[in-house]
């Protein structure tokens, strides 16, 4: 009988490198990578981030050099995140709205040094609030959705005036995509893209990131009243659907590897540009195992990144971006 063993032998197509290359269904390229970098306001060029070996906070001049390196490697975009001095944080995250804050200065500096690189910035208040939340609180500690959205719009406008290419609201407030789109358009920034953190889960995998931007020390409670419950999947489709309806150009699922089922569902349901964030804790796990000699670091890095493509992602935010780009270039 044809169509079954022994006429069919699945191993035949795997017998040699040329054949495996030919039948490969998915491919990872440098064009799939977005590189998140950490910024600080400092005379020092870089300081290491605890628990993320190989990742440093960069001052603005060093961030310009990182952007140059990214461009040379063919990485399409960088995504800077700020470590904001404690003295500048307050309950309302006021610093987020200021035209000359660290992020706005960095955006200008990076676009000046490397005009062709994409710059994608978070819109959320957590680096700027004294309590570490992505929104403002009332006196009982409840996050105030609509008041927060007003501040996020002004934060997005400050970034747009500074020349950002794409804003990425990561706060998970309701209605913020539509509000930010309207605010940007009214100010003549209709070309600024929105990459929505549409399905963002309340995750333990953000720990090292919160060290990097200094919010672990300050965060009161957790983010479960606005970020999604890891138990849910249908809810992710509702979140993504709303953000697309409100004007998101691209959507994101976050974290990455434990949520590949969500990436696949989102891509299948909407067919829009869909990104996954391989977050700080995922990077830390792979790096720690590699540095201990427990896993082959290069191999698992490339395997994990390819898995995002297989799940349907159009690209990946990853701290491995320069390392992976070098590996892809055979350097
Ligand atoms: C802030 C934000 C977080 C991350 C990206 N933007 C942390 C959080 O929501 O607490 C996490 C990224 C990572 O862990 O690499 N809104």
pLDDT (tens digit per residue) in 275-309: 999 999 999 999 999 999 999 999 999 999 999 99
- pLDDT given at position 2: 72
d(C-alpha 327, C-alpha 75), whole Å: 13
d(C-alpha 189, C-alpha 235), whole Å: 31
State yes or no: is 200 an active-site residue. yes
pTM over 0.95: yes
- pLDDT given at position 217: 84
- pLDDT given at position 218: 84
pLDDT (tens digit per residue) in 212-237: 999 988 898 999 999 999 999 999 99
- pLDDT given at position 276: 98
The pLDDT confidence band at residue 1, using thresholds 50, 70 and 90, is low
Residue whose structure tokens are 């290491």: 48
pLDDT (tens digit per residue) in 121-134: 999 999 999 999 99
User: Average per-residue pLDDT in the chain?
Assistant: 97
Nearest-CA residue for atom 12 of ligand 1: 279
Residue extents of the structural domains in the chain: 26-328
d(C-alpha 51, C-alpha 113), whole Å: 30
According to DSSP, the residues that pair with 46 across neighbouring strands are: 58
d(C-alpha 200, C-alpha 306), whole Å: 21
d(C-alpha 304, C-alpha 327), whole Å: 14
Catalytic residue among 200, 223, 267, 309: 200
Instruction: Tell how far the Cα of 10 is from the centroid of ligand 1, in angstroms.
Output: 42
122 lines ligand 1 (CB under 6 A): yes
d(C-alpha 87, C-alpha 109), whole Å: 24
CATH 3.20.20.70 fits 26-328, yes or no: yes
- pLDDT given at position 298: 97
Q: What percent of the chain is modeled with pLDDT above 70?
A: 100
What is the torsion angle, in degrees rounded to the nearest 10, for the CA atoms of residue 241, residue 78, residue 162 and residue 226?
40
């Amino acid at each position: 009988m044809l169509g079954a063993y022994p006429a069919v032998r699945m191993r035949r197509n795997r017998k040699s490198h040329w054949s495996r290359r030919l039948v490969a269904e998915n491919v990872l390229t440098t064009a799939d990578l977005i590189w998140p970098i950490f910024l600080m306001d400092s005379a020092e060029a870089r300081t290491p981030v605890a628990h993320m070996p190989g990742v440093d906070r960069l001052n603005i001049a060093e961030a310009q050099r990182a952007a140059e390196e990214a461009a040379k490697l063919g990485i399409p975009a960088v995504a800077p995140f700020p470590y904001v001095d404690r003295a500048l944080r307050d309950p309302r995250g006021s610093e987020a709205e200021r035209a000359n804050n660290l992020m706005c200065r960095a955006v200008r500096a990076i676009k000046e040094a490397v005009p062709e690189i994409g710059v994608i910035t978070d819109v959320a208040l957590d680096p700027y609030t004294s309590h570490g939340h992505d929104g403002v609180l009332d006196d009982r500690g409840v996050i105030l959705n609509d008041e927060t959205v007003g501040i996020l719009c002004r934060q997005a406008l400050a970034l747009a005036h500074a020349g950002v290419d794409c804003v990425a609201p990561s706060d998970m407030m309701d209605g913020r995509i539509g509000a930010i789109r309207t605010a940007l358009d009214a100010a003549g920034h209709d070309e600024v893209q929105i990459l929505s953190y549409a399905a963002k889960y309340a995750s333990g995998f953000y720990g090292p990131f919160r060290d990097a931007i200094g919010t672990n020390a300050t965060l009161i409670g957790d983010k479960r009243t606005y970020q999604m419950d890891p138990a849910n999947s249908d809810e992710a489709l509702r979140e993504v659907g709303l953000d697309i309806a409100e004007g998101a150009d691209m959507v994101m699922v976050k974290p990455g590897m434990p949520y590949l089922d969500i990436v696949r569902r989102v891509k299948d349901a909407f067919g829009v540009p869909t990104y996954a964030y391989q977050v700080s804790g995922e990077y830390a796990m792979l790096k720690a195992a590699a540095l201990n000699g427990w896993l082959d670091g290069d191999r698992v890095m490339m395997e994990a990144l390819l898995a995002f493509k297989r799940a349907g992602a159009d690209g990946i935010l990853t701290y491995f971006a320069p390392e992976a780009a070098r590996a892809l270039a055979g350097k």
